[in-house]
Structure 1
Amino acid sequence: MTKNYGCFLALFLILSQVYSQKIEKLPPPYWVEPIQVENHDNKSENGAYKYLLLDFQYNIETEEAYDHYAIQVFNSEGIQEFSDISISYDPTYQSLVFNSINVLRNGQKIDKLIESNINTFQRETNLERSLYDGSITAVVNLTDIRKNDIIEYSYTVKGFNPINQGNFSTVFYQQYTSPVDRIYNRAISPKKTPIYYKLSNNAPAPTINESATHTAYVWDVDGTDYFQYDINVPYWANYQKRASISTFKDWETLTELVQPLYTISSEKLTGPWDKGSNEEETILDLIRFVQDDVRYLGFESGIGAYKPHNPSKVLQQRYGDCKDKSLLLVNLLQDAGITSYPFLVNTESGESLGDLLPGLNLFNHCIVYFEHGNKSYYVDPTMTNQGGDLDNLTLPQYGEGLLLKPDSDALTRIPKNQIVPKVKVEETITTDSIGGNALFLVKTTYTGSKADYMRDYFKSNTQESINNEFVNYYSSIYPSIQSAQPIVFSDDDRGNRNEVVIEEYYNIPDFWIKDEDTGIFTCETQPLVLQNLINYTNSPQRTMPYYLGEPYEFEQETSIALPDYWNILDSEFSSEKESYRYSKNVRAVGRTIVVKHNYHLKQNFIDPSLVTTFLKDHEKINDQIAYQLSHTGDASADESGVSTTSIIISLVLLALFIFGAKKIHDNYNPKPQSDQNLNIGGWLVLPGIGLVLSPFLLLFQVGSQGYFDKGVWSLFKNAGYENANALTLFLGFELAMNIALLVFAALLIILYFKKRTSLPKLIVIMYASSFVIPILDLVLYNALFPKDLLDAADDQETYTQIFRGFISAAIWIPYFLVSERVKNTFTKVRETEIGEEVVQA
C-alpha cells in the first residue's frame, strides 16, 4: 500500500512537469466575443479593490472556457491580494493558455504578459480531506503594481472532463456578494447540441444570438446591485440571481450517462466481515466493515473525479473515496441479496438542487441507498465509528439526490431524519463544608449523531489529551478543578440505540469563593454544554431565515449535596416557542439542591420575523441558566448539627407515651370471649410479622426525615414564610405521631405474644390509624404548605400509604372483630401480684 501511494505521488509530480510545458501565451480563441474594459478613474472607492469586469465564456463544441477579469486596486491590501495571478487546471485532460495580462494606469495599457514568467506547481487543495486531484496551479507574479491600477487578465482552459461525453453544465451568476461593474456570461453551442437554461431569483433572461451553425446565449448585466447575506443563513440558501445552463434535457438523461460508471464486480466479493444470524445483522456488519476498515483516500484526477474504481480493487487496497466506498458497499449488499444502489448528493446545496438543471458537477458526494423489510434506508459509507441498528443510523441532512437506479428520472428526496440526538448530563457535587472542597462527578449520555461524534473523538485522541481538554473546559467556572481519575468511556450500546456514556471524576479545592469585603461564600453551577449550544449571534434587521443548527434534545440534572440544610424556595422557569422548548427547575430535597435543565431545539431554522423574539427569549434563558448559592460564613449562624431541643422534646414525648402504654397494658383487660387457649397460628401469623417489622420501619422513618437536625426547625422561619410557626407545628405533629406509633407498635407486640384479650381491639385501632393518619397528614400538608413547596411526588407517596392502609384495614379489622380463631387465641388477662386476674367487664 505504501508503494502504491508513493507511485501515485511520483506520477503526479511527473505530470506537473510534463504539462507545465503546455502553458502558452496566445491571443484569445476566434470564437470569443471581445469585451473592453473601461478605463476608470476611481480613486476614492471604499475597500481595498473593486471588480470592474467578470467575463466568462464557454464554447461547448471546442470544449474551451475563456475567463476575463478586470480588478482595480486602491491600497496596499488590494495590491497584496491581486498581484499574484493563479489558475488551476487538471493536466490529464486540460491545457492552459494565457491570452492577456495588462495593467491600465492613467489611460495607458502596460502589457505584462510578455515579461511575465509562468511558474507551475502542484497544490492539493483537498489534502486535509485525504483527496488528491492532481491539479496543477500556474502562477504569475506581477511586478510594479501601484495604487489605483487596473489589473486585467484573461486565459483559456482547453478541455472538458471526458466523463461528460460532450455534455456541459454550469451556473452563471448575475449577482455577487460584492459589487461588479459589469458581468458578462456567454455560452455558444452548435445547433445540434441545444442548451437549456433555468433562471432563479429574478435573474434576467439571456439574449439569444443565432447563426447558421451555432447558438449563443448571452447575459450582459450591471453587477453593482450586489447581494449581502445576513449572518447565520442556512448553508443551503442561495438568493443570488443566477442562471443554470445544461445540455442535459432531464435527470433521466444524466442518470443514463452516470449509471454505467458504477459497475459492480462480476465476481462475488469475499472478506473478513461476519455473516449475521439474520439479514439486518448482515447489513450492519457490511456497513461497519466499509465504514471502519476501508479508509478514506481518493485520487481524483481526470475521470477519477466522477468514476469509481472497481470494487474488487478497492477491497484489495482497503482505501477509496466516497464513490469507491459506496460502490463497494452496494456490491457487498447486492451479493447478500439486498437491493442497493449508489446515491449522489451535494453536502452543501442538497436542499436547492431542484432549482438547477441536471449536471454531473452538481454532486460532490456519494452515499448508498438500500432496501430492507419493505423500508428504504440511506447510509454514508465515509462516516467512521457510527453506531446504531438500521432504525437508529443517523445521516446528515443531504436533502435531494440522484438515485443511480434504472429508469430514475428525477431527484429523490431523502426523508427527514427522525432520530433526534440527545445529550443527558448528570452532575453530582458533594461539598465537605462551607468554604471547603467539593467532589465533582459527571455522567454524560450521548445518543444518535452526538454519540457518533463522541465515539470518533475518543478513538481519535489519547486519554491524556482528552483528560486535559475536559479539565480546561470546566476551568472556566472552576479555576482550581483537578482530575481525580481518568475519564471512563463506555460504548456498550453501539449496535442498538447508539448510546455512549462518559464518566468524569474531579476535585474542586476552591469550590466556594469568599468575598473578602463581606465574608460571604458563594458557589455556582452552570450547564456549560447547553450554554455553548444556545450561544446565538445577534442579528438586527433580519431579512433572511436564521439557521439554528440541527434539532436535538438536552437534559441536565445537577445535585449539590450540602453540609447542612439550605433556606431556598423551590422555583421553576420555562420558555417555549414553535422552534424550541426550555425549562429550569430548582428543588431542595433535604440537604441536597437539585437543578434541572431541559432544552429541545425543534427546528433547524426560523423565519426572519421570528428572530428578534427568539434571541430575546434566549437572552432571558442565559440570564436564568446559572445557579448560585451564598452563605454568610458566620459560625454563629451555622445551623448544622443535631437539634438538642428536638431530642429533649422527643424523650419527653417518649416517656409520656410509654407511661400511657403501661397504663393501657395494666388496666385494659377485656373479658375473654372463649375458654379455649389456642396457640398463635394460621392467618394470625401474618399480622404478627407486620407488628414485629413496624418498629424498625418507624425508626427508619423518624431517622431519615431529619427531625433531629437543627436546620430543619428554623427552615421555614428563615425562608420567610408567613405561616412558619404553623409549618413548624406541623413538623412537630408528625414527629409526635411517629413516636406515639412507635410506642403503640411496641405495646401491640407485647400484647400479641402474651395473647392478651386487649390485643384485638387495640390492633383494630392501629389498622384504622394507618388509614386515617395519612389522610389527615395529606390534608394538613396541602393546607399549610405554600404552593411553591408542594411536590406531586410527595402527594403520590401519601396516596400510596392511604391505599395500603385502606387495604390492610379492610382485611384485618373485620378479621379481628369476628374471627373465632382470634377469640379462641387471645384469651389471657393480666394477673396481679397475688395471682388474681384483672378482668374488665
Structure 2
Amino acid sequence: MDNQIQIENYKIQKPEEWAGNIGDQEIIERIKDSEFARKQIDEGRDYCYFLDKKYYTSNKENGEYACMAYTLNEPGNLERASVSDVVVEENEVYQIHRISVLRDGVLIDKIPDTKIKVLDSENQSSGGVLSSNKKINITIKDLRLYDVLILEDSRVKVFTDRDFLRKEFSKYVWVSPDNYWAYGSFRFTFINEREQTIAYKKTFFRDEQGNVLEPEINYLKKGDRFVFEEQNYINPVDAGREIFPYIDFATESTWKDLSNYIVPIYDEIFSKSSLQEFAPHLVEKLDAIADQDEKLQFAIEYVQNHIYYIFNADEMNGHKPQEPSITYENKQGDCKAKSVLLKVILDYIGVEASVVLVNFHTDYYIKYYLPSLLSFNHVVVKINYKGEEYFVDATIRDEFGLIENRGFMYFMHYLEVKKDQELQVRKAFKFPYYCVDEKVDFTTQGNIGNLKLVTTYKGNRANAMRRYFKSTNKREIIDSWNSFLFYSLNYSGDRNGTDVRNIFKDAAIDVISDNKKLNEVKIQYTAVVENPYYTDPQKNRFLMYFDRNVVKASARDFMHKDLPFWHNFDSEKYEINLYTDQKIDTEEKYTVQESTINNPYFDYKSRKKITKNGASVYIEHNPLVNLEIPQDEFERFRTDHHTVADSNFGLGVDVIEPGLMNRLKFSFKKKFK
C-alpha cells in the first residue's frame, strides 16, 4: 500500500490486549443474513451486521475500539466509506487493525488498496484557535456497491503531564446510536483499569410505553466491565421530540470534592505576583479613573479588547491557567488566562469577583451528569457589584457599557472556583432596560406615505447592531430593513414579487447616536412609499403595521417531550403611529383591540389611541428569562403567545372610502358584521 513509512499519528497493528482479537472466520460467520437483516435491506435502510465498541480507561491512557461490518447498498454510503477523515489529538494514535470487504462470500483484505494521508487540522488558526490535532485522511479504492465493509480500529491517547486532569479523572458519555441505522448485533463495553472507582448513570432510557425511566447509577471498581448489548436493534427514539438515551461515566466524586481539588490550582496562580509588580502602567490608568463604575468598565473592556484570545485546544483539556503576568506581558491567553487576569485586576480595584466553570454547549445536561470537572469547557468571571450578580465572558470583544448596561450572558449551571462549592443554578433574570425600544411613524397624504423608524438598541442588541453596521454594506442593510417592512406593512399581500427597492424610495438608514456607557445604539430609517395602502381583493384599503418579531414563533411551535422550553426572549417596547388624510373606521374590532397578559414568565401589554384619521399602539413585553419553563406550565405560556399573535402585535386601520355609495356600503357592513 501507499505510505509504507508509518508515522506517529497512525499505525497498522493488531488490537491492544484490552480490545480482544477477532479472526477472519468469526467475522464471516457473524455476517449472516437474517429475516431482520433482509427486511431492513429491502426497505432501503443501511444495515450494520454487528458493531462492537469498547472504551478503555486507565490512569495512563484512554482508548476507544470499534469493529463493525455494514452494507454499502446506497451510493451515498459507498462514497462516505471510500473517503473518510479521522481527527486525532496531540499524543493520540489512530490504530488500524482491519479494513476488509466481504464480496460474494469471500473476505478480501483492502489495506493494500488503502491510501493514508496525515494533514494538519488547524483551519482556524488565523482566528486564534490553536490545535496540534491531526487529520488522518483514509481513501479506500475499489469499493463496490453491495460490498459489506469491515472496519476494525482503535484510538489510543497516552496522557502527558499537560493532561494532569485526565490522569486524575475520567469522563465519557456513551450516546445511543443514530436511529437511521439498523444493527444485527450492537455491543458497547466500558473497561475500568483506573485505581479510582468510576460511577455510571443511565439517563433518558425508556420503558416499552416510551416513558422515561428514573436514572440508574452503578459503580465500576478497577478491573470491572460494563456491557450494553442489543440484538436486531433499531433505536426507537423519536429524534425530533425525545432525547437520545445516554450513559455518563465519570470518576466517582462530589461537586464539593471537585471544587476543593481545583481551588489550590487557581490559588497558586493568583499568589504568583501582584498587579502592581507586573502591570504598573495599567495600575496608573486604573488609579487615574475616579469613578468606580467607569473603573470597572475599563477593567472589563481592557481584558476583552487588549488581550488577544487564543483558544488552545490542548491546554483546555486541563484546568491549570496561565499566570496573569505572562498573559499581561504577551497580551494573549485562553479563557482561563483572560478570566484570571480580569479577576486580579478586579481584586486590585476592590470589586468582588470569582472564576467560574461553565459549558454553554451542554448546559442543559449538566444537572443530569455525574459530577466531573471534565464537564466544563469554558471559564467566565462572576462579579458581585452593588448588590447585583453579573457574569462576564473575558473572551468576547466589542462589548460596551457600565456593568448594568452590558449584554446578558445566557446559561444556567456553573461551578465557582471557591472552597466547598456545589453546582450552582443561576437565578432567573428580568431586564432593567428595554433591549429594543422602537417608534414607528407612518404618515400618508394622498397617495404618498412617509415612513420613519427610530430604534434604540441596548445590551446584547446594541453590541450586535454595532458589529452588524461595522461589517455590512450599507445597501445590504437598507435592503434588510426594506424586506422586513415589506411584510410588516403587509405589502406581501397585494404586491408580492415586487422589488422592494421600487416600493421604498429614497430609503436611508443611519446610526444617529452611540452611547458606550449606556450601551445604547440609536438607528433611524426613513423612506417614501408610493401607493402606501394595502388593498384587498375587494378594493378595500388599509394602513397596517404588524411587527412579526414580536410574535415568538419558537414558543408557539415548540414540541418536545423531554426538553423544557428555554426562555431567552428580549424585553421590547414599541410605539406605532399610523396617520392618514382619509377617514377611518374608529370602531373596527382589531383596530381598537387591546391586550393585557400577566403570565408568570412574561408581562405583555398593548394599548391603543384612536382618532378619526389615525391610530397609535403602545406595546410592552417584559419577560423573565434565563430559565426553563416547566412542562406543566408551558401550555399556558404557549396560549398566551397565541394571544399576542392574534392581532396584538401591531396595528391596522380601515379606510372609509369617500362618496355616498361607499358610506352606505360601510354602514351596511357594520350593521350586519
Q: Do the aligned residues in 2 keep the contact of 1:572 with 1:583 (CA within 8 Å)?
A: no
- Partner SS for 1:139: strand
- Partner SS for 1:82: helix
TM-superposed deviation, 1:606: 3.9
CA distance in 1, matches of 2:620, 2:258: 50
CA distance in 2, matches of 1:173, 1:467: 48
Amino acid at match of 2:549: V
CA distance in 2, matches of 1:557, 1:54: 62
Tell me the residue number matched to 1:431: 444
Tell me the residue number matched to 1:758: none
CA distance in 2, matches of 1:194, 1:298: 32
Query: Does the C-alpha gap of structure 1 residues 428 and 544 become closer, same or farther in structure 2, counting only changes over 3 Å?
Result: same
Q: Do the aligned residues in 2 keep the contact of 1:169 with 1:358 (CA within 8 Å)?
A: no
Tell me the residue number matched to 1:131: 129
Query: Does the C-alpha gap of structure 1 residues 22 and 450 become closer, same or farther in structure 2, counting only changes over 3 Å?
Result: closer
Which residue of 15, 25, 38 corresponds with 1:28?
15
The alignment's TM-score, normalised by the length of structure 1, stands at 0.65
CA distance in 2, matches of 1:288, 1:294: 10
Higher normalized strand content (fraction of residues): 2
Segments of 5+ residues of structure 2 without an aligned counterpart are 205-213, 492-499
Q: What are the superposed Cα offsets for residues 615-642 of structure 1, whole Å, 9 maximum, x if unpaired?
A: 5664554342464444465567799xxx
Amino acid at match of 1:77: G
CA distance in 1, matches of 2:329, 2:6: 32
CA distance in 2, matches of 1:629, 1:85: 60
TM-superposed deviation, 1:200: 3.2
Tell me the residue number matched to 1:473: 484
Tell me the residue number matched to 1:593: 615
Q: Do the aligned residues in 1 keep the contact of 2:405 with 2:517 (CA within 8 Å)?
A: no
Query: Does the C-alpha gap of structure 1 residues 474 and 720 become closer, same or farther in structure 2, counting only changes over 3 Å?
Result: closer
Q: Do the aligned residues in 1 keep the contact of 2:437 with 2:574 (CA within 8 Å)?
A: yes
CA distance in 1, matches of 2:123, 2:428: 32
Q: How does 1:607-646 map to 2 (within 5 A)?
A: 607-608=630-631, 618-619=641-642, 621-624=644-647, 625=649, 627-631=651-655, 634=658
Q: Does 581-590 or 551-560 show the bigger shift?
A: 581-590
Tell me the residue number matched to 1:292: 305
TM-superposed deviation, 1:539: 5.6
TM-superposed deviation, 1:254: 6.0
Larger radius of gyration: 1
Tell me the residue number matched to 2:581: 563
Q: Does 132-141 or 261-270 show the bigger shift?
A: 261-270
Segments of 5+ residues of structure 1 without an aligned counterpart are 1-17, 640-713, 723-841
- Partner SS for 1:219: strand
Q: Does 180-189 or 247-256 show the bigger shift?
A: 247-256
Q: How does 1:66-145 map to 2 (within 5 A)?
A: 66-70=64-68, 71-91=70-90, 93-105=91-103, 107-124=105-122, 130-143=128-141, 144-145=143-144
Query: Does the C-alpha gap of structure 1 residues 400 and 161 become closer, same or farther in structure 2, counting only changes over 3 Å?
Result: farther
CA distance in 2, matches of 1:446, 1:535: 22
Which residue of 505, 512, 534 corresponds with 2:553?
534
TM-superposed deviation, 1:612: 6.0
Query: Does the C-alpha gap of structure 1 residues 605 and 170 become closer, same or farther in structure 2, counting only changes over 3 Å?
Result: same
2:528 pairs with 1:507: yes
Q: Do the aligned residues in 2 keep the contact of 1:487 with 1:505 (CA within 8 Å)?
A: no
- Partner SS for 1:475: helix
CA distance in 2, matches of 1:78, 1:355: 35
- Partner SS for 1:31: helix
Which residue of 200, 203, 213 corresponds with 1:200?
203
CA distance in 2, matches of 1:473, 1:619: 21
2:450 pairs with 1:450: no
Query: Does the C-alpha gap of structure 1 residues 390 and 285 become closer, same or farther in structure 2, counting only changes over 3 Å?
Result: same
2:505 pairs with 1:482: yes
**Total equivalences in the alignment:** 612
TM-superposed deviation, 1:155: 1.8
Tell me the residue number matched to 1:321: 334
Root mean square deviation, CA, Å: 3.8
- Partner SS for 1:215: coil
Q: Do the aligned residues in 1 keep the contact of 2:607 with 2:618 (CA within 8 Å)?
A: yes
Higher relative CO (CA 8 A, sep ≥ 6), structure 1 or 2? 2
Query: Does the C-alpha gap of structure 1 residues 188 and 249 become closer, same or farther in structure 2, counting only changes over 3 Å?
Result: same
Tell me the residue number matched to 1:422: 435
TM-superposed deviation, 1:438: 0.6
Tell me the residue number matched to 1:167: 168
CA distance in 1, matches of 2:482, 2:175: 51
Q: How does 1:164-563 map to 2 (within 5 A)?
A: 164-165=163-164, 166-173=167-174, 175-178=176-179, 181-190=185-194, 192-201=195-204, 202=214, 214-222=222-230, 224-230=234-240, 240-246=245-251, 251-253=256-258, 255-257=260-262, 259-260=264-265, 263-264=269-270, 266=273, 267-271=277-281, 273-275=285-287, 276-301=289-314, 306-373=319-386, 376-405=389-418, 407-419=419-431, 422-433=435-446, 436-476=447-487, 477-478=490-491, 479=500, 480-492=503-515, 494-496=516-518, 498-513=519-534, 519-531=539-551, 533-534=552-553, 536=555, 538=557, 542-547=560-565, 549-563=567-581
TM-superposed deviation, 1:388: 4.0
Query: Does the C-alpha gap of structure 1 residues 356 and 161 become closer, same or farther in structure 2, counting only changes over 3 Å?
Result: farther
Q: Do the aligned residues in 2 keep the contact of 1:133 with 1:301 (CA within 8 Å)?
A: yes
CA distance in 2, matches of 1:375, 1:535: 30
CA distance in 2, matches of 1:230, 1:380: 32
Q: Do the aligned residues in 2 keep the contact of 1:587 with 1:595 (CA within 8 Å)?
A: yes
Amino acid at match of 1:30: E
TM-superposed deviation, 1:559: 0.8
Q: Do the aligned residues in 1 keep the contact of 2:176 with 2:244 (CA within 8 Å)?
A: no
CA distance in 2, matches of 1:305, 1:469: 44
CA distance in 1, matches of 2:198, 2:413: 24
CA distance in 2, matches of 1:253, 1:415: 23
Higher normalized helix content (fraction of residues): 1
Tell me the residue number matched to 1:658: none
TM-superposed deviation, 1:107: 4.7
Q: What are the superposed Cα offsets for residues 418-465 of structure 1, whole Å, 9 maximum, x if unpaired?
A: 4365322210001011xx111101122233333333233334435444
CA distance in 2, matches of 1:19, 1:285: 53
Amino acid at match of 1:404: V
Percent identity, aligned pairs only?
Answer: 17
Amino acid at match of 2:609: R
Q: Do the aligned residues in 1 keep the contact of 2:429 with 2:624 (CA within 8 Å)?
A: no
- Partner SS for 2:429: coil
The alignment's TM-score, normalised by the length of structure 2, stands at 0.79
Query: Does the C-alpha gap of structure 1 residues 614 and 287 become closer, same or farther in structure 2, counting only changes over 3 Å?
Result: closer
Amino acid at match of 1:449: N
Amino acid at match of 2:203: S
CA distance in 1, matches of 2:636, 2:255: 43
CA distance in 2, matches of 1:600, 1:373: 23
Q: What are the superposed Cα offsets for residues 676-714 of structure 1, whole Å, 9 maximum, x if unpaired?
A: xxxxxxxxxxxxxxxxxxxxxxxxxxxxxxxxxxxxxx9
Query: Does the C-alpha gap of structure 1 residues 145 and 585 become closer, same or farther in structure 2, counting only changes over 3 Å?
Result: farther
Q: Do the aligned residues in 1 keep the contact of 2:200 with 2:217 (CA within 8 Å)?
A: no
Q: Do the aligned residues in 1 keep the contact of 2:578 with 2:614 (CA within 8 Å)?
A: yes
TM-superposed deviation, 1:253: 4.3
- Partner SS for 1:256: helix
